[in-house]
Amino acid sequence: MSSTLQIKYRIPFIDYLKFEKRYSKHTITAYETDLDQFFNFIEKQYQLSNINDLSSSMVRTWLASLKEDKLTSKSINRKISSLKSLNKYLLKNGLIEKSPMSSIVSPKISKRLPQFIEEQQLKTLFEHVEFTEDWKQQTEKMVLELFYNTGMRLSELINLKQQQIDFSNQQLKVFGKGNKERIIPLSETVILHLNNYISNNPTEEKVWVFVSEKGKTLNPRYVYGFVKKYLSLITTVNKKSPHILRHSFATHLMNNGAEINAVKELLGHSSLAATQVYTHNSIEKLKEVFKKAHPKA
């Protein structure tokens, strides 16, 4: 049951994210979870009824409780970000006089390089792993191919419509986070495979690119399952998810000399900082080449 503060402040903010910022369902759910958890804690601990009475020390108490619950720094940072976004919205709309978040510092996160799959391993997947001719396995094969050849996110791929593919110009239009549009070029081979796949659709569904045998859009859990199954055949990396194919797409582009701003646009990143993590992988690749090739290494 929603409290007074949640009804007055959280609900309008979430509506703003939905209808004006046009955030994805996944992002909206994350904001709702974070803010509901925060308001429940604050009202229980401090019996707070006026948002202007919220202080930085109250926020820190909540963050300390999250740390005691063994929440990771990454998760805590996300919750801090949710609170900062809410307070920015409240300030902008004159609903609060000052933000208690101005003195809140996010905990440092140790940066880990994104995992990726080697080019040769993915070549093995597409050239040597056998897929049957039935619709289910042809769908799985096409999904894997498009993930790796475009770097698309899972939500972008399963919601891809046939009208978003421009076969004559060999490209597709993607609607990413915040409904931001970007264009991704496709190779002749991928265009041919996509055309064949769509032409062989045995269902009456002619809107979505990827559908099940019943003509329904693909369930994210199902996609996770078969991606993990096929990647387990070719690699021993820990994470065998659709997102690792996005990492592999970006890393292989960087390793083969792609310009970082071009990779940023292809991935749909809002800032260059998010893309720069892939330069670290390319540097590690250069170190590896140096060690193998240089006589004094």
Question: Can you give the pLDDT at residue 1?
Answer: 44
Q: Which two tokens stand for residue 167?
A: 């076969």
Which of 111 and 58 is assigned the larger pLDDT?
A: 58
Mean pLDDT, residues 238-257 taken together: 93
In the chain, the domains with their CATH numbers are 4-92 (1.10.150), 119-293 (1.10.443.10)
167 by Cβ neighbours in 10 Å (0-12 / 13-18 / 19+) ranks as middle
Span between the terminal Cα atoms of the chain, in Å = 64
Residue 5 has pLDDT above 90, yes or no: no
Backbone φ and ψ for 219, nearest 5 degrees, come out as -80, 130
Mark whether 246 is an active-site residue.
yes
Residue 2 has pLDDT above 70, yes or no: no
Beta strands per DSSP E along the chain = 165-166, 171-175, 181-185
Confidence of residue 123 (pLDDT cuts 50, 70, 90): very high
Mean pLDDT taken over the chain: 91
Residue 182 has pLDDT above 50, yes or no: yes
Q: Which one is catalytic: 153, 193, 247, 264? A: 153
Mean pLDDT, residues 146-166 taken together: 97
Residue 150 has pLDDT above 50, yes or no: yes
Q: Provide the pairing of β-strand 181-185 with 165-166.
A: unpaired
189 by Cβ neighbours in 10 Å (0-12 / 13-18 / 19+) ranks as exposed
Residue 153 has pLDDT above 90, yes or no: yes
60-106 pLDDT tens trace: 999 999 999 989 888 999 999 999 999 999 999 999 999 999 999 88
**Measuring CA to CA, which residue among 176, 156, 162 is closest to residue 209?**
162
253-278 pLDDT tens trace: 998 889 999 999 999 998 888 888 88
Q: Which one is catalytic: 21, 78, 84, 269? A: 269
Mean pLDDT, residues 122-130 taken together: 96
Mark whether 193 is an active-site residue.
no
Mark whether 278 is an active-site residue.
yes
Q: Which one is catalytic: 173, 177, 182, 285? A: 177
199: β partners: none
Mark whether 177 is an active-site residue.
yes
Confidence of residue 282 (pLDDT cuts 50, 70, 90): low
Confidence of residue 189 (pLDDT cuts 50, 70, 90): very high
Backbone φ and ψ for 175, nearest 5 degrees, come out as -110, 105
Q: Which one is catalytic: 31, 197, 230, 278? A: 278
Which of 179 and 78 is assigned the larger pLDDT?
A: 78
Question: Can you give the pLDDT at residue 197?
Answer: 97
Lowest mean pLDDT among 83-92, 110-119, 140-149: 110-119
Q: Which parts of 47-116 fold into alpha helices (H)?
A: 56-68, 73-92
Alpha-carbon distance 115 to 119, whole Å?
13
Mark whether 269 is an active-site residue.
yes
